[in-house]
Amino acid sequence: MFTNFNKAEQQIRYPEDRRWFIGFNTYALVAILIILLLTVGLAWFQFLAFGLPADPSAKFHAVLLSNPTGFPVWVSLSHWVNFFFLMMIIRSGLSILADHPRLYWNHGCSPNSEWLRFTPIKIPNDRVYTAKEDSRYLNPVFGLPGYRHSVGIARSWHFITVPFFLFNGVVFILLLFFTNQWKRLVPVTWQIIPDSWNVFVHYATFHMPMEPNGFYHFNALQQISYFAVVFLLAPIAMLSGMCMSPAIENRFHWLPKLFGNRQGARSVHFLVMLAYLVFIIIHVAMVAATGLVRNMNHITLNTDSSVSYTGLYIGLCIVLFTIAFGFLAHWISWQRPRSLQHTEAAINGRLWLNTINKFKPKLYYKQKDISPYFWVNGKMPVSETWQKLAANKFKDFKLAVGGMVDNPVQLSLEDLQRMGKEQNITMHHCIQGWSGIAEWGGLPIQALVELVKPHPSVKTVVFYSFGEGLYGGTYYDTHTLDNCLKPESILAWEMNYQPLPEKYGAPLRLRVENQLGYKMVKWICKIEFVDTHENIGKGYGGKNEDDEYFDLLADT
Q: Give me the DSSP letters along 427-489.
A: EEE-TTS-EEEEEEEEEEHHHHHHHH-B-TT--EEEEEEEEE-TTSSEEEEEEEHHHHTSTT-
* DSSP 8-state assignment for residue 232: I
Domains by residue range for the chain, with CATH: 17-38+102-134 (no CATH), 361-548 (3.90.420.10)
Q: CB–CB of 100/430 below 8 Å?
A: yes
Query: For 272-284, what is the mean pLDDT?
Result: 95
Which pLDDT belongs to residue 284? 94
- Provide the pLDDT confidence category of residue 62 given band limits of 50, 70 and 90: very low
CA atoms of 151 and 13, how far apart (whole Å):
11
What residues contact 234, with CB distance under 8 A and at least 6 apart?
166, 169
Which pLDDT belongs to residue 448? 97
Which pLDDT belongs to residue 149? 77
Query: For 293-301, what is the mean pLDDT?
Result: 93
Helix (H) or strand (E) holding 75: helix 73-98
* C-beta atoms surrounding 203 within 10 Å: 16
State yes or no: cis peptide before 212, omega within 30 of 0: no
DSSP codes joined into one string, 239-259: HHHHTT-HHHHTT-TTTGGGG
Please give the backbone phi and psi of residue 110, each rounded to the nearest 5 degrees, phi first.
-65, 150
CA atoms of 473 and 8, how far apart (whole Å):
13
CA atoms of 479 and 491, how far apart (whole Å):
13
CA atoms of 316 and 379, how far apart (whole Å):
48
CA atoms of 102 and 133, how far apart (whole Å):
13
The amino acid present at 49, given as its one-letter code, is A
Query: For 237-254, what is the mean pLDDT?
Result: 94
- Using one digit for the tens of pLDDT, what is the confidence trace for 88-120? 999 999 999 999 999 999 988 999 999 999 999
* DSSP 8-state assignment for residue 360: P
- Say whether 224 sits in a helix, a strand or coil: helix
Which pLDDT belongs to residue 2? 47
Q: CB–CB of 137/147 below 8 Å?
A: yes
CA atoms of 380 and 530, how far apart (whole Å):
27
b/e string for 29-61 if b means 16 or more Cβ within 10 A? eeeeeeeeeeeeeebeebbeeeeebebbbeeee
What residues contact 546, with CB distance under 8 A and at least 6 apart?
469, 537, 538, 539, 540
What residues contact 459, with CB distance under 8 A and at least 6 apart?
480, 481, 530, 531, 532
Query: 224 exposed, middle or buried (CB, 10 Å; 0-12, 13-18, 19+)?
Result: buried
Q: CB–CB of 488/497 below 8 Å?
A: no
| pLDDT over 60 at 315, yes or no | yes
Which pLDDT belongs to residue 441? 97
CA atoms of 146 and 516, how far apart (whole Å):
22
Query: For 251-279, what is the mean pLDDT?
Result: 95
Which pLDDT belongs to residue 60? 57
Strands 498-499 and 474-480: unpaired
* DSSP 8-state assignment for residue 217: -
The amino acid present at 83, given as its one-letter code, is F
* DSSP 8-state assignment for residue 191: T
CA atoms of 215 and 181, how far apart (whole Å):
12
- Provide the pLDDT confidence category of residue 128 given band limits of 50, 70 and 90: confident
| pLDDT over 90 at 549, yes or no | yes
- Provide the pLDDT confidence category of residue 4 given band limits of 50, 70 and 90: low
- DSSP 3-state helix, strand, coil percentages of the chain (rounded to 5)? 50, 15, 40
Which range among 55-59, 159-163, 180-184, 354-358 shows the weakest confidence by mean pLDDT? 55-59
- Provide the pLDDT confidence category of residue 154 given band limits of 50, 70 and 90: very high
In this prediction the pTM is: 0.93
Half-sphere exposure of 449 (CA within 13 A, CB side): 21
Alpha helix locations (H) across 304-407?
A: 310-335, 337-344, 350-353, 384-391
CA atoms of 289 and 454, how far apart (whole Å):
69
